[in-house]
Amino acid sequence: MKEAIVLYPSPAIGHLISMVELSKLLLTHRPSLSIHILITNQAYDAGSTTTYLASVTDTVPCIAFHYFSATSLPPDFSTTSPHHETLALELLRLNNPNVRRTLTTISENHVVHGLIIDFFCVAAVSIALELNIPYYYYFASGAGVLNFYLFLPTIHNKFTKSFKDLDAPIDVPGTPPIPPSDVSKPLLDRFDEAYKGFLDSSLKMQTSAGIIVNTFEKLEPRAIRAIMDGECVPSSPTPPLYCLGPLISSRGGDDGGSPECLTWLDSQKRGSVVFLCFGSLGVFSVEQLKEIATGLERSGQRFLWVVRNPTEDKNKKAVTSAMPDQDLGSLLPEGFLERTKERGLVVKKWAPQVAVLSHPSVGGFVTHCGWNSVLEAVCTGVPMLAWPLYAEQRHNRVLLVQEMRIALPVDESEHGSVSSKEVEKRVRELMESEEGKMVRERALAMKKEAMAALGPGGSSRSALAELIESWKRE
């Protein structure tokens, strides 16, 4: 019987792309593997995946996608949690019958070596156990966040307070202390449904057959060592850890948009442009967009800025539904586009991020600190300004600035907004200061380490071989 691996990603595009890239990597090392990827619908708008999946089907036809019929939350479903992650966890739980049916069908003609699940797909663990299929976790963020989640049950038992009520940084093995305010929002209240779901997934990850993480040894040596030495799961053995990154897609969420920005970059000086882009879900209010524009104008720097349609809710940092389309001129300060046309370009909604970051004219990246974007900057050697918006991004900022030293921070006010003065100051600092130069040199050095990790004899290549070898031994 043919050997198979089944991957079950969260349907959010950032998670989906990362896991599909993992499947491609597995095929490069073991072309005989039968790869199956389970696709569910989304509980909320987390970025369209249609174009990306179609491109993978065209270019890697041997990957089999299993599209589940659309599942809806029941009309009587209610939750007191304000976090949309709760909806995702529940919808994925409701897909368990689809998971069982599909795994059973695949198992009829294949030896299934493992079910690799996203952190959000924790409900499928019960199906894997029922069918006697080893389950692995694929952690789409980095090791510094992974060790926090592995350590979460220990923290939960140590404190009776919620993270939001703690007044001191949290000590986690292998990373700088994490301020409670930088913990992912769904974890702040220990009585919230989202917290309970995350804690449950963290506990099940501790007993998995292995954890695959999208990072590499030289990027996060201290965090990786803490996990492998058992410091993050002090009460029981830690599952095998496989650092296989950096896994990035050259296409990303490519929707076929115009490469106008690449043509514009061709006319700019080497390393002179700062690129601002905030991911597939990042969103700002009109007021915040105007602060960014004012700061960019005053900075005197060349810039390429991707602007999404704004939200009316100043506290909202991630868009979970379509926003009304608005004209750029109405969103930005009067005359801004005209005054900055010689040194700046603003594009609506989308730009080919990897292609932009790879362009020699780009010298800095203002990012929301989503892990895919971080790795794309690492692979292109571009230093970052860290401006987190949602999910684990504030946690990532701590790691990028203090541990990896490949980013400078953007500081928010107590209300979560960023002033035009802060934008101006930080953009100049990244592009002109001695500190910016040091971060740039560090980013370029890490680019070489990323290439080495994936190359012959590299740490990620070796970890991949170990993972596949473990399946042979079963």
pLDDT band at 474 (very low <50, low <70, confident <90, very high): low
Looking at 97-101, 165-169, 322-326, 468-472, which range is the least confident one?
A: 322-326
Strands 362-367 and 2-8: unpaired
b (16+ CB within 10 A) / e for 117-128:
bbbbbbbbbebb
Task: Identify the structural domains of the chain with CATH numbers, from first to last.
Answer: 2-247+456-472 (3.40.50.2000), 260-451 (3.40.50.2000)
Convert the pLDDT of each residue in 154-201 to its tens digit. 999 999 999 999 999 999 999 999 999 999 999 999 999 999 999 999
Backbone dihedral angles phi then psi of residue 449, each to the nearest 5 degrees: -65, -35
* Average pLDDT rounded to a whole number, residues 388-396: 96
Q: Choose among 43, 119, 49, 122: nearest CA to 84.
A: 43
pTM of the model: 0.95
Q: Mean pLDDT for the chain? A: 94
Convert the pLDDT of each residue in 121-156 to its tens digit. 999 999 999 999 999 999 999 999 999 999 999 999
Res. 351: pLDDT tops 90: yes
Convert the pLDDT of each residue in 457-467 to its tens digit. 999 999 999 99
Side chain identity at 343, as an amino acid letter? Answer: R
Q: What is the structure's pLDDT at 328? A: 86
Res. 252: pLDDT tops 60: no
Res. 317: pLDDT tops 60: yes
Q: What is the structure's pLDDT at 326? A: 84
SS (H, E, C) the chain: CEEEEEEECCCCHHHHHHHHHHHHHHHHHCCCCEEEEEECCCCCCCCCCHHHHHHHHHHCCCEEEEECCCCCCCCCCCCCCCCCHHHHHHHHHHCHHHHHHHHHHHHHHEEEEEEEEEHHHHHHHHHHHHCCCCEEEEECCCHHHHHHHHHHHHHHHHCCCCHHHCCCCECCCCCCCECHHHCCHHHCCCCCHHHHHHHHHHHHHHCCCEEEECCCCCCCHHHHHHHHCCCCCCCCCCCCEEECCCCCCCCCCCCCCCCHHHHHHHCCCCCCEEEEECCCCECCCHHHHHHHHHHHHHHCCEEEEEECCCCCCCCCCECCCCCCCCCHHHHCCCCHHHHCCCCEEEEECCCCHHHHHHCCCEEEEEECCCHHHHHHHHHHCCCEEECCCCCCHHHHHHHHHHHHCCEEECCCCCCCCCCHHHHHHHHHHHHHCHHHHHHHHHHHHHHHHHHHHHCCCCHHHHHHHHHHHHHHCC
